[in-house]
């Protein structure tokens, strides 16, 4: 029986529950020093003076690095590498301040406490300049996006303006989403250690190879001199996909101090220096016939970026793919602010974009007098609306039907404010979830050891999503071994390289490489067992035998011993896809249904139940897949009702830079979540049939909640988060 798809327990679970899993900040090195970043307190200007004398005299302080004494880096510290692997960094090469919270000095001491105390003694005087912090004002000078990695910034087909003008029913509205900030359980952390001219970085990252390349180019050294180690990551979700300033600063500090240096960000330092989701303003116009069929879509997005570097929140991407429509146009523009560079945050663009599009579809359904689910079925896209390509696999109809039946959608009254329970107004809402499927080049190594066990490696990452477990399952099937006889290792640039663990691509990219390497090893073993008769060989649970001669049977260990006792090894590569070049369009889909209750007197919103079904390709591990989708849905509740980063428009300071005031859900905020999957195997997409599932869970659910709030109250809220203030 195949091990893949089975709900086996996490192979790394015992290490985590016993505290043996070692995260970046937990590596113990001799003479380890501690570094703390000093941050700017103005939004824009320059440093007139920086007095570190008090810090340098403080107990335990080893050194203070600032623009006054930092080593001069090639190209002024600007990495010769394009985002997302490298960003515009603040590496103490100049006295210019670009945003509040920018690193302007690093204090290194013999203990963390001494470093914190020393950082507090650094005195800075600034010459302030007028900063642009108001998104409403910055929008006036918004400019078109030149390029973005997800696709063309502006796309059109048909004649949308003409079709909108002639539409029998039309809605046009503006939807907004706020700045949001990553808050994974593990903040960013790096330990840097030099051995002569070689640098080892223990880093909390989603992309060990990207860190290696970026740091090497930034410091002006060969990549072969940099090793990056990251066996466990305590959550990434996009913020750890790029190499940020603290990583290079740790390397600089360690080199100057002549000893290993740990630089771990405090929770408030997660707000600004390491990115976050940009705010958006999204104008959507939908035109339809009276029967509900769409005739035109227009979706225009403005999102904020930093004056340091352009970053685009690609919120128009789902609009290009979700519904069949002969006329459509989308555009993306940027409004630049004096803030830190934004970055990818779980389902970038797709989560914010589906909020706007799926809210607009709900509004259109009410305008037409058609059930919201029925409207989506009327406009079901049998092929990609923009390219006309068939889907590699799509079971969204089945998702709608399954989730709607389990939710009881057929009993939903059409009229808002029709359901009530005591003081609570009850509302039911639904939306479509979606996320693109991509894969990147990856490599893997498999080694069959003399005792019949196997070692499999790939230089990928595990963000807590289950990569160790899933790759063990893939290897187990390919080698015909029990999972407990396989040791899968990752998280080291000495291993065969793999891409960033972002964009829900890890399984889709790495699993084919693991499968190919293991199958090659098994082929070599079959040749040792029965030369020239490999096609007649059967493998199962560490044994080979011949189909034509079942009595001829031998264990892996015995075969290797007979051949001299040396291990068998193979390496394999899996290619990535060329975007938009293949014969099929590839996306994952889901149907999300939720119930909300709104206290009629207080405006407080709760979400007692969510029912969702997903079309995501083959499940590699049913238990981990369900956990991933539940986690995404929880974050969707957070996005809908809680999360918002508040920027002080006077000085650019983030005023809620802690988990006391940056609200995220606790257990009491989350009701019942019922997740199911359609039975699918998308081998047109890749050899293992799996598409990524890490990000689709957060898409759709914010809109479903907003639509349920309207159904409960009759009040349409077009902004996130939806607060009780909006309903009182």
Query: Is residue 6 a part of any domain in this protein?
Result: no
Q: How remote is the C-alpha of 590 from its chain's centroid?
A: 18
Query: Is residue 142 a part of any domain in this protein?
Result: no
Which of 557, 574, 591 represents a domain boundary (last residue)? Answer: 574
Tell me how crowded residue 702 is: count the other CB atoms within 10 A of its CB: 30
- Give the Cα separation of 347 and 345 in Å (integer): 6
**Same domain membership, residue 380 and residue 258:** no
Residue 579 burial (10 A CB sphere; 0-12, 13-18, 19+) = exposed
Q: Which parts of the chain have pLDDT scores under 70?
A: 1
Which are the contacts of 588, defined by CB distance < 8 A and separation ≥ 6?
Answer: 434, 435, 436, 437, 504, 614, 615, 616, 617, 691, 692, 693, 696
Is this prediction's pTM over 0.95? yes
| CATH code, domain carrying 539 | 3.30.365.10
- First-to-final CA distance of the chain: 57
Query: Is residue 146 a part of any domain in this protein?
Result: no
Q: What is the pLDDT of residues 230-258, one digit of tens each?
A: 999 999 999 999 999 999 999 999 999 99
Query: Is residue 40 a part of any domain in this protein?
Result: yes
| Phi/psi at 721 (5° precision) | -75, 160
Per annotation, catalytic residue among 186, 213, 595, 695:
695
Query: Is residue 145 a part of any domain in this protein?
Result: no
Which of 574, 606, 639 represents a domain boundary (last residue)? Answer: 574
**Same domain membership, residue 563 and residue 496:** yes
The H-or-E segment that residue 614 falls in is strand 605-615
User: What range defines the domain where residue 192 resides?
Assistant: 24-130+185-235+240-270
The H-or-E segment that residue 610 falls in is strand 605-615
**Same domain membership, residue 447 and residue 430:** no
To 10 degrees, the CA torsion angle through 649, 652, 655, 658?
150
Number of domains in the chain: 3
| CATH code, domain carrying 44 | 3.90.1170.50
Q: Which residue reads 């640039």 in tokens?
A: 493
**Same domain membership, residue 351 and residue 334:** yes
Which are the contacts of 310, defined by CB distance < 8 A and separation ≥ 6?
Answer: 145, 146, 334
**Same domain membership, residue 287 and residue 264:** no
Tell me how crowded residue 7 is: count the other CB atoms within 10 A of its CB: 12
Contact (CB, 8 A) for 632 and 695: yes
**Same domain membership, residue 518 and residue 419:** no
**Same domain membership, residue 434 and residue 487:** no
Query: Is residue 337 a part of any domain in this protein?
Result: yes
Residue 564 burial (10 A CB sphere; 0-12, 13-18, 19+) = exposed
Query: Is residue 177 a part of any domain in this protein?
Result: no
**Same domain membership, residue 585 and residue 595:** yes
Query: Is residue 339 a part of any domain in this protein?
Result: yes
Q: Which DSSP string do the residues of 349-389 spell out, in sequence order? A: THHHHHHHHHHHHHHHHHHHT--HHHHHHHTB-SB-TTT-P
Whose CA is closest to 529, among 549, 551, 566, 555?
Answer: 555
**Same domain membership, residue 55 and residue 199:** yes
Contact (CB, 8 A) for 707 and 610: no
Which are the contacts of 531, defined by CB distance < 8 A and separation ≥ 6?
Answer: none
Q: What pLDDT does residue 482 have?
A: 97
Q: What pLDDT does residue 85 have?
A: 82
For the question of residue 519 being annotated catalytic, the response is: no
**Same domain membership, residue 299 and residue 206:** no
Which of 540, 574, 608 represents a domain boundary (last residue)? Answer: 574
| Phi/psi at 635 (5° precision) | -65, -35
Q: What pLDDT does residue 690 have?
A: 97
**Same domain membership, residue 190 and residue 258:** yes
**Same domain membership, residue 200 and residue 62:** yes
Q: What pLDDT does residue 84 have?
A: 80
């Amino acid at each position: 029986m195949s091990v893949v798809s089975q709900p086996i327990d996490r192979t790394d679970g015992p290490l985590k529950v016993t505290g043996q899993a070692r995260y970046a900040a937990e590596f113990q090195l001799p003479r380890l020093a501690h570094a703390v970043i000093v941050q700017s307190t103005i939004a824009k200007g320059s440093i007139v003076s920086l007095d570190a004398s008090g810090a340098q005299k403080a107990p335990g302080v080893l050194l203070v690095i600032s623009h006054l004494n930092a080593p001069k880096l090639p190209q002024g510290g600007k990495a010769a590498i394009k985002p997302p692997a490298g960003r515009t960094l603040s590496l103490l090469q100049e006295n210019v301040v670009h945003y509040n919270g920018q690193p302007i000095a690093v204090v290194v001491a013999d203990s963390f406490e001494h470093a914190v105390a020393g950082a507090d003694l650094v005195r800075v005087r600034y010459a302030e300049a007028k900063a642009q912090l108001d998104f409403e004002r910055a929008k006036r000078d918004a400019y078109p996006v030149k390029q973005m990695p997800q696709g063309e910034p502006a796309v059109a087909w048909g004649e949308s303006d003409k079709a909108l003008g002639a539409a029998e029913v039309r809605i046009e509205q503006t939807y907004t989403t706020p700045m949001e900030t990553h808050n994974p359980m593990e903040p960013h952390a790096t330990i840097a250690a030099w051995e002569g001219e070689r640098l080892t970085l223990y880093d909390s990252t989603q992309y060990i190879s990207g860190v290696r390349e970026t740091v090497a180019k930034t410091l002006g050294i060969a990549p072969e001199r940099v090793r990056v180690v990251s066996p466990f990551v305590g959550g990434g979700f996009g913020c750890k996909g790029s190499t940020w300033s603290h990583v290079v600063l740790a390397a600089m500090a360690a080199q100057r101090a002549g000893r290993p240096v740990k630089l771990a960000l405090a929770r408030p330092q997660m707000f600004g220096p390491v990115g976050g989701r940009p705010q958006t303003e999204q104008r959507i116009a939908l035109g339809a016939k009276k029967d509900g069929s769409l005739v035109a879509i227009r979706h225009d997005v403005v999102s904020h970026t930093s004056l340091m570097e352009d970053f685009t929140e690609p919120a128009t991407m789902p609009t290009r793919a979700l519904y069949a429509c002969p006329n459509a146009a989308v555009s993306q523009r940027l409004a630049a602010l004096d803030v830190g560079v934004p970055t990818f945050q779980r389902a970038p663009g797709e989560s914010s974009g589906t909020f706007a599009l799926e809210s607009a579809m709900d509004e259109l359904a009410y305008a037409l007098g058609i059930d919201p689910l029925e409207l989506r079925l009327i406009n079901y896209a049998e092929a990609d609306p923009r390219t006309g390509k068939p889907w590699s696999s799509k079971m969204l109809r089945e998702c709608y039907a399954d989730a709607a039946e389990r939710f009881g959608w057929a009993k939903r009254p059409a009229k808002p404010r029709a359901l009530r329970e005591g003081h609570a107004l009850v509302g039911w809402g639904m939306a479509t979830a979606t996320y693109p499927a991509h894969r990147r080049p990856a490599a893997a190594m498999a080694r069959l050891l003399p005792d019949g066990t196997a070692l499999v490696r790939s230089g990928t990452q595990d963000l807590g999503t289950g990569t160790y477990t899933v790759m063990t399952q893939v290897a187990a099937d390919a080698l015909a071994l029990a999972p407990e006889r396989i040791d899968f290792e990752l998280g080291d640039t000495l291993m065969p390289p793999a891409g960033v663990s972002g964009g829900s691509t890890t399984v889709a990219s790495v699993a084919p490489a693991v499968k190919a390497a293991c199958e090659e090893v098994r082929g070599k073993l079959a040749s040792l067992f029965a030369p020239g008769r490999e096609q007649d060989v059967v493998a199962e649970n560490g044994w080979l035998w011949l189909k034509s001669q079942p009595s001829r049977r031998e264990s892996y260990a015995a075969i290797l011993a007979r051949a001299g006792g040396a291990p068998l090894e193979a390496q394999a590569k899996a290619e990535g896809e060329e975007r938009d070049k293949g014969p099929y369009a590839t996306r994952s889909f889901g149907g999300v249904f939720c119930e909300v209750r709104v206290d009629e007197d207080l405006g407080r919103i709760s979400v007692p139940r969510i029912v969702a079904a997903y079309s995501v390709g083959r499940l590699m591990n049913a238990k981990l897949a369900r956990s991933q989708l539940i986690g995404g849905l929880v974050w969707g509740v957070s996005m809908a009702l809680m999360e918002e980063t508040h920027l002080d428009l006077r000085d650019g300071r983030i005023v809620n830079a802690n988990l006391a005031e940056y609200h995220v859900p606790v257990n009491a905020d989350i009701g019942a979540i019922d997740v199911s999957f359609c039975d699918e195997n998308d081998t047109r997409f890749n050899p293992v049939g799996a598409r990524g599932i890490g990000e689709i869970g957060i898409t759709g659910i914010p809109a479903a909640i907003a639509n349920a709030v309207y159904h409960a109250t009759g009040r349409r809220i077009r902004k996130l988060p939806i607060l009780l203030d909006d309903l009182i």
